[in-house]
Amino acid sequence: QVQLVESGGGLVQAGGSLRLSCAASGSIFTLMVMGWYRQAPGKQRELVATITTGRSTSYADSVKGRFTISKDNAKNTVYLEMNNLRREDTAVYYCNGFWYGNNYWGQGTQVTVSS
């Protein structure tokens, strides 16, 4: 069983930065494709960024150049560095791990960007 626990959300002014962390339990962290999703009020959950086992990354167009996903295999942790935050980045951010058809989700962390 894999458990994912996010942290690092909060309230920040537009233009500011936050770093989200997602700590994973279990022994398959290095085998999983890890990702960050977000869900704003009244909207569907959307993919923000992913990182593969080989550390290849991909991003939604809306966050390219502002967000960076990374991971530390020694700490079983994946990060999302968010810079130049905008009001439209306000959402609950979820950590996701995918392995052999199984999706694992964290409980989510709220990010609120004020003007």
Asked whether 96 and 45 are in contact (CB, 8 A), the reply is: no
Structure token digits, residue 110: 């709220």
Note down pLDDT in tens along the chain; length 115 residues.
Answer: 899 999 999 999 999 999 999 999 988 888 899 999 999 999 999 999 999 999 999 999 999 999 999 999 999 999 999 999 999 999 999 999 999 999 999 999 999 999 9
Counted residue by residue, the chain has a size of 115
| Residue (of 1, 82, 2) closest to 34 by Cα position | 2
Structure token digits, residue 114: 């004020």
pLDDT of amino acid 30: 87
Question: What is the C-alpha to C-alpha distance for residues 93 and 81, in angstroms, rounded to an integer?
Answer: 12
